[in-house]
Amino acid sequence: MRARTKIVAGNWKMNKTVAEAASLVEKLQKQLASFSGCEVVLCPPFTALASVAKLLKSTPQIRLGAQNLHPAPKGAFTGEISASMLREVGCQFVIVGHSERRRYFGETDAFLREKLLAAVSAGLHPIFCVGEDLPDREAGRWPDHLRSQLQGVLHALPLPVLSEIVLAYEPVWAIGTGRNATPEQAQEAHALLRQELERLHGQSIASRLTLQYGGSVTPQNARELLAQPDVDGLLVGGASLEAESFTSILLSVE
């Protein structure tokens, strides 16, 4: 079972060539040489995973994650990557169900559930993302939306699978918009997610899962978001693409 430790992950999305990735990692390694405030995960694009893995050998405290996987172990799935391929290249984490995957690639709850199962059976920790869009936020339907996303994917999932997951709350209206959830909104949503996890799987697992917030996290708002009792970490997009901003977010972890 994963411990409920603080974790900050950088989701680079479709950014960074191999050379750019190396330069960012080398800067981070220098700036974070003595950092031990939380778990740090970098999620480069597939093409940079192998070279980043090689660089990270000298700083095993910085871990490697992928942004996606296919649930099948292998076969005729042109363009896809399996969980064991990610493990082989050195990944310990994989993002599953990011709203961009749901929106642009039509990923459904049933498919995401398969991905979670495949990831955990290969020894990966999935960073499973949920979050409501703006109309659901504005109409006050966000609690129902979050409950249904959790239930749709996590219902009746075996506890050994569930206990390897990191859950990320990423309101779609906050992703890449510069409009982050306020610390109060993040806390309220995280508390609701924990409550729903408790209803689905019991108090013990609900209190032990790590819950990350993501959506326009910056060095300016990271500390306040992390100060919330149910916010155990951050999933950072844009601000993880520069060493200075990602480092200063990490340094705001107590």
**Count of positions on this chain that bind ligand PGA (CB under 6 A):** 13
Among 37, 73, 176, 202, binds ligand PGA (CB under 6 A): 176
The answer to whether residue 123 forms part of the interface with ligand PGA (CB under 6 A) is: no
Binding mask 216-245 for ligand PGA (x = CB under 6 A): xx-----------------xxxxx------
Angstrom distance (rounded) from CA 187 to CA 172: 16
DSSP annotation string for 204-239: HHHHHSEEEEESS--TTTHHHHHTSTT--EEEESGG
Burial 232-244 (b: 16+ CB within 10 A, else e): bbbbbbbbbbebe
Asked whether 11 and 101 are in contact (CB, 8 A), the reply is no
How many beta carbons lie within 10 A of that of residue 253, not counting itself?
19
**Residue 70 annotated as catalytic:** no
Is 170 one of the binding residues for ligand PGA (CB under 6 A)?
Answer: yes
Q: Which stretch binds ligand PGA (CB under 6 A): 32-40, 59-67, 81-89, 169-177?
A: 169-177
Min dist CB 159 to ligand PGA, Å, is 27
The two structure tokens encoding residue 195: 């409550």
User: Quick check: 226 and 214 in contact, CB under 8 A?
Assistant: no
- Could you tell me how many helices (H) and strands (E) the chain has, helices first? 12, 8
98: annotated active-site residue: yes
| Residues 51-70 interacting with ligand PGA (rule: CB under 6 A) | none
We find the least distance from the C-beta atom of residue 99 to ligand PGA, in angstroms, to be 7
Strands 125-130 vs 93-96: parallel, antiparallel or unpaired = parallel
Q: How far is the CB of 143 from ligand PGA (least distance, A)?
A: 21
Q: Return the residue of 8, 11, 169, 252 that touches ligand PGA, per CB under 6 A.
A: 11
Residue 64 or 236 having the CB closest to ligand PGA: 236
Residue 131 in the binding site for ligand PGA (CB under 6 A): no
Could you list the active site residues? 98, 170
Which residues would be at the binding site for ligand PGA (CB under 6 A)? 11, 170, 175-176, 214-217, 235-239
